[in-house]
Every structure is written in C-alpha cells, then in structure tokens.
Structure 1
Amino acid sequence: MKKRLHIFLLVLLCIVFQTAAVHADLIFEPEDSFYEKHADACEYVNRSYIVNGYDGETDVYESPESAEKVMTVKNREKYYISFVYTDRNHVKWGFIEDGQENSGWVPMDYMYPVYNSQSFYEEYKDKITPDEGIIPNVSKGDVIYGWTYPGSETKYKIEVMEDTFDYGSTFTDEEGHQWGNVGYYMGNRDFWVCVDEPQNPNLPVREINEEVKEAPEKIDGVPGTSAEADNGTDKNIRNEKADKQTAENENAAGTGTENIWTAALLVVLTAAVTGIIIKKFFGKKK
C-alpha cells in the first residue's frame, strides 16, 4: 500500500511541475499584442528609467510600428521597463505601464536608467573582485542594512535568519570600507552589505554621476520627431514596414499557437499516463 501511495504522489508531483512549467514562461511577459508577436526579438531589461524627452515630455505609442499615441509622459517621471525591442532603424523601444491600465512603447532615447546596482557594476567593474566571505560578528536574530550599491541613498533593514551571513564579491570604497555583494537573501536581490559595519545605517553617501545626455530633437522612424515627418513621408515609411512584417507576424502568431497546443498535449499525455498507473496499482485484481 505504501508503495502505491508513493507512486501516486510522485505522479501527482509530475502533473504539478508540468503545469508550473507551462505557466512559468508567461509570468513576466506583458499582455501586449506587439510583444506577443515579437517576443523572441525583445530583450528583458527589468529596470526603472526616468523620462528625458525633448521639450519636457515624450509620447508613448501603441507599438513601435504604429503612429497612434496612447499617452504622454513628463520629464523626471519614473517608469519600470520590462522589455526593449530594436526596430529596423536600430531605434530601441521600451514597454512601459503607468499603473492605470495604460501601456505602450516609448523610444529609449527619451529615457535614462535610474542608477542602481547594475549601474554601479558597470562603473566599477574593474574594482569588484569575486571574493566570497562571511560577515563577521553577525549571528541569527541580528539586524543589518542592505544597500542598493555601496553608499547608496537607499538602504533597508535585513534580519539575519541563519547563524552566518554570506556574500559573493567585494568592493573597497574610497573611505576604506569593505562591501560584500549578496545575490539573493529572503526576497532581496542583488544588494550590498558593509562588511566592516553591517549594522551602521549612517555610512557616507556616494556621489554618483547624474549627468543626463541631452534628448535628441529628431529620431528617424519615430512619428513627429523624424526628419521625414515634416514632408509627410514618415507615416508612409512606417506603413510600408508594417506591411512587410505582416507575414512575419502571422508566422510568429502561428508559432505561439503551436507552443500552446504542445503544452496542452503534454498535460493530456501526463494525465493519461497517470490514469494508466492509477488503474494498474489501484484497480481491482481479478
């Protein structure tokens, strides 16, 4: 009986994992028709940006191939961008949402990234070493501080839940403080802890380069900004590009449908195998 129960539980877990696998790929994907057709061409960036449009604002479009505006965002407003798409003119477009069910695509030339741990890595990569270690004099129950990057303005309390607290790489700042980077801990990702003073919230704030490039007045291929817009040809050019990509979009949609049917078939097959196993082990013996 125990053997049969173990087999049944094993099969049940297989079904659960199979279902989770089908849905896992959709967790972070936006519900947007353009993205659905061009998902393979989109880059996952997972980063916050600040608007830096020409003349104080920038328009957000229904898609990188459409001249229809869905909203206008103002300079200095902050938005999260999940994916970036690069069109045939090498213009990068970011997908944004305003938190009020409005979403669309914005030219990345009119956005600049919020300084974060990734920015710190890019600026100081030559001074970061892959030295693993343990924060000294810290034990379970202690409260330490996590920082977005060494000396950032943003910091938060972290309760130590184990007997030790590990880090994976190190950086020594201009004041001589050693910092350790932690990839993940209790829901917190990619943050830094001061190895020398992990419980000190009043460490010096790092000065960062906040210089923002001047926004371009015109971007080729973007409605209302490109050089062709003045003579009325910009929209025609964009329509021609949309026509050329119709076949590609249909193929992409077909591929998406095939993936759904494949996933459904896997679930059906799993259920069928489960039924056979259950019948074999739980059916009445003649």
Structure 2
Amino acid sequence: MKKEHDGKRKVFLRMVMFVCIAVFVHPLSASADVIFEPENNFYERHSDECSYFDRSCLAGADTYLWDAPNLTTEGGKLQKGDSIYISFVYTDNDGLEWGLAETQDKWILMADLYLEYGSPEFMEEHSDEIYEDEPYLLSDGTVFVSWSYPESGVINSSGASVMDDYEITTFYKDPDGRLWGYTAYMYGTRDVWICLSDMSDTNIPQRVEHELIPAQEADASQIAAVKESGQFSVLFLGVPVIIIAGIAGFLIWWFWIRKKRLKRQRGQRML
C-alpha cells in the first residue's frame, strides 16, 4: 500500500512540475518574439494590410500628423528634424505609404519622413560582401558591443553579454580586415552587428557619412494634392459644426431671448 501511495504521489508531483513548466517557462522563452500591436482605431480595422516597420525617422519641413490615412490633418505638424518612431506602415490604394506614430497615436505620410542610413541600407549596399559561413560561437557570458552596422560609428549597446551559448552565421569583413558578425534578432533587438575581431572596442570610427534617405519616394504633386484634400477635410468637417452652432444660436434667440424681450416690452406698455 505504501509503495502504491508513493507511486501516486510521484505521478502527482510530475504533473505539478509539468504544469509549472508549461505556464512559466514556455511563455518566458517565447515572449521575446512577441510584437505588441498598437491600440489605434484605423490600425485595428486594417491590421492585415499593415507591415511591421519598427524604425525611427526624422521629420521633413512639412510633416503633418493625420488622424488616419487620408483623413484630416488637424493633428498638427512636426518640427523639421524631430525624431519619431514608426511602428507599422499602411499602403493606400494610390501607393502612398502611411506610418503609424504610435506615441502620438497619429499617422504620417512616409514621403514626409527621412531615414538615417542603417543596417537595412548597409546590407543592401554590401550584399555581395556579406556571406554565410560556419557558426561562430559566442559562449555564455561573453561581453560585446552592438553596433548599428559595421564602421557606422554608432553604438546601439555597450557592455551587453551573451546569455547561454549563441551562434552567429552571417559575416562581413570591412576594408581594415575586421570581421563582423550579424544576427537579425538577439534578445529582443533587431539587426545586431558585433565586431568579432574585437568585441569590446568602442572606438571604431565611422568610415562614410551618409545622407538622409527619404522614407518613400513619391511625386511632389501627388503629396501636395493629398495634403490639400486633408486640409479640405478639416474645413469640410468644421463648416457643418459652425452652421449647426449658428442655427442653434438663432433658435435660442428666436424662442427665448426674443420672447423675453417682447414680454418685457408688453409689461412696460401696460405700465
């Protein structure tokens, strides 16, 4: 009887351990890959038509904040050079791209924004020099510096460390002979470049200074027409409000103020 009781107890403990692992361990291991979707009315209706962007942009000289793509510009304007984070991009029927400025809960024409040269542009420019090879092992606890891209002069993270062994299989060798490793996603960060020749060096200078890149190339007349229609939408929405307010004011005057005056005049005549 005692052995049977011990056996049941072991089975029960195993079940408890399995539940704990399923509830606690699995979500933690998967949480790094979760993309949190924004709470925006337009996005919620068109999420299947939006693509994940996840980059910061710089505002141009005439950058409006829109309530939704092609819907009014009453949200105001950004100052030239303002940095703004775009989480998702929507493309309308005319091919114009609209970025969701999640912090402001507004939409922006991507043609009004500029991108700083980064890893995507570097990888496109140097696609012939970037190669796959045997895995390079970063052992648990290895400290490294993460860069925007090779010889960018821009450090994304200094003093980061490897959790468990990590393998890199994408490489690039710069003109000075330094070997760089790339991973698309590492511990919640996208586009990670590590100088494998010296992982702790924080003084690798910028080789080339790049100009800002338009977030979308678009015809200037098309953009101007969209902005005019947006401003017209504000006027179109505002005029009915003014008319309704005017009518309401007239009715108040006619049925209340006017009658009150007439009663007062009649009272004075009777006196």
Same fold (TM over 0.5): yes
Whole-angstrom distance in 2 between the partners of 1:195 and 1:26: 28
Secondary structure of the corresponding residue to residue 201 of structure 2 = coil
Deviation of the 1:199 alpha carbon: 2.7
Secondary structure of the corresponding residue to residue 48 of structure 2 = helix
**Structure 1 residues 73 and 199: alpha-carbon distance in aligned structure 2, compared to 1, 3 A threshold:** same
Contact 1:94–1:105 (Cα < 8 Å) also in 2: yes
Whole-angstrom distance in 2 between the partners of 1:210 and 1:182: 25
Deviation per residue, 1:209-233 (Å, 9 max, x gap): 315459835427623278xx8xx69
Whole-angstrom distance in 2 between the partners of 1:12 and 1:47: 37
**Structure 1 residues 106 and 2: alpha-carbon distance in aligned structure 2, compared to 1, 3 A threshold:** same
Deviation of the 1:76 alpha carbon: 1.2
Contact 2:63–2:113 (Cα < 8 Å) also in 1: no
Equivalent residue letter for 1:222: V
1:48 and 2:49 equivalent?
Answer: no
Whole-angstrom distance in 2 between the partners of 1:217 and 1:162: 52
Equivalent residue letter for 2:133: D
1:200 and 2:204 equivalent?
Answer: no
Contact 2:98–2:110 (Cα < 8 Å) also in 1: yes
Deviation of the 1:157 alpha carbon: 2.1
Equivalent residue letter for 1:150: P
Secondary structure of the corresponding residue to residue 6 of structure 1 = helix
1:62 and 2:70 equivalent?
Answer: no
Contact 2:32–2:188 (Cα < 8 Å) also in 1: no
**Structure 1 residues 139 and 86: alpha-carbon distance in aligned structure 2, compared to 1, 3 A threshold:** closer
**Which runs of no fewer than 5 residues in structure 2 stay unpaired?**
1-8, 237-271
1:33 alignment partner in structure 2: 41
Whole-angstrom distance in 2 between the partners of 1:24 and 1:184: 10
Superposed, which structure 2 residues align to 1:70-81 within 5 Å? 70-81=75-86
Contact 2:183–2:193 (Cα < 8 Å) also in 1: yes
Whole-angstrom distance in 2 between the partners of 1:38 and 1:174: 45
Secondary structure of the corresponding residue to residue 133 of structure 2 = coil
Equivalent residue letter for 1:195: L
1:112 alignment partner in structure 2: 114
Equivalent residue letter for 1:31: E
Whole-angstrom distance in 1 between the partners of 2:54 and 2:68: 19
Among candidates 86, 90, 100, match of residue 85 of structure 1: 90
Whole-angstrom distance in 1 between the partners of 2:71 and 2:48: 19
Deviation of the 1:79 alpha carbon: 1.0
Deviation of the 1:197 alpha carbon: 2.6
**Structure 1 residues 129 and 71: alpha-carbon distance in aligned structure 2, compared to 1, 3 A threshold:** same
1:170 alignment partner in structure 2: 171
Secondary structure of the corresponding residue to residue 46 of structure 1 = strand
Equivalent residue letter for 2:123: Y
Contact 1:221–1:234 (Cα < 8 Å) also in 2: no
TM-score, length-scaled by structure 1? 0.63
Deviation of the 1:203 alpha carbon: 2.0
Whole-angstrom distance in 2 between the partners of 1:195 and 1:24: 24
Instruction: Find the structure with the greater CA-based Rg.
Output: 2
Whole-angstrom distance in 2 between the partners of 1:72 and 1:88: 24
Equivalent residue letter for 1:129: Y
Whole-angstrom distance in 1 between the partners of 2:180 and 2:27: 41
Among candidates 227, 235, 239, match of residue 223 of structure 1: 227
Whole-angstrom distance in 2 between the partners of 1:76 and 1:200: 31
Q: Percent identity?
A: 32
**Structure 1 residues 25 and 125: alpha-carbon distance in aligned structure 2, compared to 1, 3 A threshold:** closer
Superposed, which structure 2 residues align to 1:240-251 within 5 Å? none
Contact 1:141–1:159 (Cα < 8 Å) also in 2: no
TM-score, length-scaled by structure 2? 0.66
**Structure 1 residues 175 and 235: alpha-carbon distance in aligned structure 2, compared to 1, 3 A threshold:** farther
